[in-house]
Structure 1
Amino acid sequence: MTISKGYGKNVTMTLILSRIVGWIEYKFTETNTYMKTSYDALSHNTSVEQGIYTLDLSEDNTLTLNPQISNISSVNYIIVNQTRSEMTWQKVGTTYSKGI
């Protein structure tokens, strides 16, 4: 699903970042909350974090995780590409490059 203003109720987007040593999954809801689940394949540990996010679609498509925390702790991403099933995002201040 796509996160967008006024899209409908109970919209959830799942992002999976595959890694050889584990994975990270983000689930975003329309109520501006998210759940981050991380799995470490080496230690077989799973951790779950919850937070809030803001989405600014009016200017530069900025996604901010935990904006209520100081500027040092909040994380900003620019949404580079978005479809109904996936989203490509990059941390503000980094350079985007397509994978293989």
Structure 2
Amino acid sequence: MIRAIEDAGHKVMPFQFNDLIAFIDYDGVKIKVGDVDLMRDASAIIVRPFGRMSLDQAIFRIDLLYTLNDSGIPIFNKPYAIERCVDKFRALCTLKMHGIPV
């Protein structure tokens, strides 16, 4: 995926959620990876699987994605979809209730 994106002429900066630093100050919300301010410098973010984490970690990561998306940055694998899929049992129940075999 990275190679395909680079071949299309885009700069790629892979990172993990553990690399993110988020804070709120007088200038607004900052979400950074190293020296890169994602709120200012990212043109899009592609989210791959979260992996195992606590509920608090999942909520915080989804909140970060909502914040980035609300600021106008396109998020691929939308926060809403990730939020629904993190709760596996609820996701399976929703599918079943809508007639989709699980």
Q: TM-score by structure 1 length?
A: 0.26
Greater RCO, 1 or 2 (C-alpha within 8 Å, sep 6+): 1
| Greater fraction of residues in strand | 1
Q: Which has the larger radius of gyration?
A: 2
Q: Higher helix proportion, which one? A: 2
